[in-house]
Amino acid sequence: MKEQDRQLFKRLFAYSRPYLRLIFVSMIASLVVAGADVTMAKLVQPLIDTVIVSGDRYWINMVPVFVVGLAAVKGGSRFIQEYFIKNAGQLIVQDVRNDIYSHSLSLSMGYYVDTPSGTLMSRILNDVGYMQRSAADVLVDAIRESFTLVGLTALAFYTDWRLACVAFVVLPVSVLPAIIIGRKIRENTRRGQRTMGNLTAVLQETFSGIKVIKAFGTERDETNRFRHENATFYKFFKKVLKYDSATAPVNEILASFGVGGVLWYGINRVISGALTQGELFSFVASIVMLYGPVKRLTRVSNVFQKSMGAAERVFEVLDEVPAIQDKPDAKSIPRCRGDVVFDQVTFAYETDPVLKDFSITAAQGEVVALVGPSGAGKTTVVGLLSRFYDPTGGAIYVDGHDLREITLDSLRQNVALVDQETFLFNETIANNIRYSSPNASDDEVIEAARLAYADEFICELPEGYQTSIGDRGVRLSGGQRQRLCIARAILRNAPILILDEATSALDTESETMVQKALANLMKDRTTFVIAHRLSTIMHADKIVVLEGGMVRAVGRHGDLVEQDSLYQRLYQMQFQG
């Protein structure tokens, strides 16, 4: 076994430890099932030699009792075995799914930039789902068939070791094609699951961007893209089906050599008087029954290879180390004043520098606006302040604390964000506002909505604060969604506020209402504002002009209009005429 497979086994076994009691009960039941099969094969000899030959009426009448009784014992034990082992399998995979979801939330923003959300969704749903379907079948069949195989093998050698040797010559030969087929299945399962990730990504993009698709009439193009990915998935799945379907015929052909050899040699031994007819039929019954578990175990091996291919992809996510995490000695800070310092900060996505020697200060309660052309690095600045990323050079301080020296939880408690993408959950209005502060009372939620100028339209809705707003708040207008996001930030009551293009997608009337809400939100908070509309930041305490990732100028609106050519150009482009 490869080292990689051994490590996978260890990790999967670690997940099974809490459920060893269920597995142990199932194994005991499996022993009974295997014993029933062995007993059935063994009873063939007395059935022929004693019952049929002697014609004893008592034993003839007892045959149905033995058959029904044995079937009842086997059926009851099989129910216990399957019920307990399938429960254990489901619980194990449930823990894996919980862990991969929890771990994915801990990964840094950089991971989500590089990994399509559809691919990650496919790992959590499709790959873990594959493990879920396979784990129960593998555990059930592997345990039962293994015990049955051992019992029938022991019976065969006990009955006649010479015949057993003839029968078992074929078994080692059947292992080689099983190994080759298993490897092919595993390889194509991995490739197929990777393609399923692409398929999931197409679905996620389609349903998220359905308005754009319909607006531009690209339904046919999207259909062709989906069909291409679907055909690619089928190509790999077809190979899995091909190798899986070849397993049973190969095993049956190989098994026929063993059965043929046993019958030829056994009949000769009966003729010579070395075996009774009952012993031969008992042996043949055990061998025929023995090849059944061998075939089923080979199929279990195929299912197991599929499961291992999916498990590799699942553990790839679990092995991903978050780029942003607390240092061992990181300290938790209380509510801060809101003094922020960027000290010669440099940052690059891979090798492309986005910020170069970026240095600014923001005192408690100041409003700092970031302006500049697209790609100047404005969003990167606020991303670094939220510690979605760490600077590649320099440092960022909050109240004198380097962000890398404090815990992420305590930093996030001191920062509130209102983004240009007004993301709301498919929940009630009250729960969407309360998302920033889960323990807030109803009165606090209503007060936050009032300060965000959202209370009026909320009260006009049929169910008020208990109105469900649909996926991403689709039942509300843009201005209403933005005011709910502002109410959420107000309820957070953080001393540092980030406004990233908070009014960029609104009409004039909605913008006026949102600006009033933002004024309430920004009161007594250190605020960083990203805005393309200079009208929204003309009264900022400090305007930072960015170009090419560097600070070009810092000042108030009036000074910059007179002194900085880039700011003058931006101003004239928006206000001329």
β-bridge pairing 393-398 and 401-402: antiparallel
Strands 367-371 and 352-362: unpaired
**According to the model, what pLDDT value does residue 179 have?**
65
Considering only CA atoms, which of 432, 420, 447 is closest in space to residue 521? 447
pLDDT at 495 over 80: yes
At 51 the pLDDT is 63
Report field, pTM of the whole predicted structure over 0.75: no
Under 8 Å between Cβ of 429 and 466: yes
Query: Where residue 406 falls among pLDDT bands split at 50, 70, 90?
Result: very high
Task: Quote the CA–CA distance of 498 and 259 in Å, as a whole number.
Answer: 77
**Per 3-state DSSP, what percentage of the chain is helix, strand, and coil (rounded to 5)?**
70, 10, 20
Nearest to 174 by CA among 287, 250, 245: 250
Q: How far apart are CA 488 and CA 223, in angstroms?
A: 38
Share of the chain above pLDDT 70, in %: 80
Q: pLDDT tens across 510-548, in order?
A: 667 777 777 777 888 898 988 777 767 778 889 888 888
- Overall fold of domain 93-318: ABC transporter transmembrane region fold (1.20.1560)
pLDDT at 398 (0 to 100):
92
DSSP 213-276: HHHHT-HHHHHHHHHHHHHHHHHHHHHHHHHHHHHHHHHHHHHHHHHHHHHHHHHHHHHTTSS-
Q: Which residues contact 427 (CB under 8 A, 6 or more apart)?
A: 468, 469
Give CA–CA dist 128/314, Å, rounded.
7
Position 304 pLDDT exceeds 50: yes
Q: What is the pLDDT of residue 407?
A: 92
- Cα separation values, 90 from 80, 134, 139, 576, Å: 15, 10, 11, 66
The arrangement of secondary structure in 340-575, i.e. its CATH architecture, is 3-Layer(aba) Sandwich (3.40)
In angstroms, the Cα distances linking 298 to 85, 132, 154, 166, 251 are 20, 19, 20, 21, 8
Band of residue 377 on the pLDDT scale cut at 50, 70, 90: confident
Q: Which of 43-57, 174-188, 303-317, 494-508 has the highest mean pLDDT?
A: 303-317
- The pLDDT score that the predictor gives to residue 577 is 44
pLDDT at 143: 72
Question: What pLDDT digit, counting tens, does each position of 414-459 carry?
Answer: 988 888 777 788 788 898 889 888 888 989 999 888 888 888 888 8
First CA to last CA across the chain, in angstroms? 76
User: Domain spans of the chain?
Assistant: 93-318, 340-575
pLDDT in tens, 202-234: 777 777 667 667 766 777 888 888 888 888 877
Whether residue 549 contacts residue 535, with contact meaning beta carbons closer than 8 Å, is answered with: no
Share of the chain above pLDDT 90, in %: 7
Residue 480 has pLDDT above 50, yes or no: yes
d(Cα 289, Cα 156) in Å, to the nearest integer? 11
Predicted pLDDT at 455? 87
**Mean pLDDT, range 98-114, rounded to an integer:** 83
pLDDT above 60 for 1: no
- Residue range 392-404: mean pLDDT, rounded: 91
Give the integer Cα–Cα distance in Å for 368 and 383.
15
Q: Tell which wins on pLDDT, 86 or 290.
A: 86
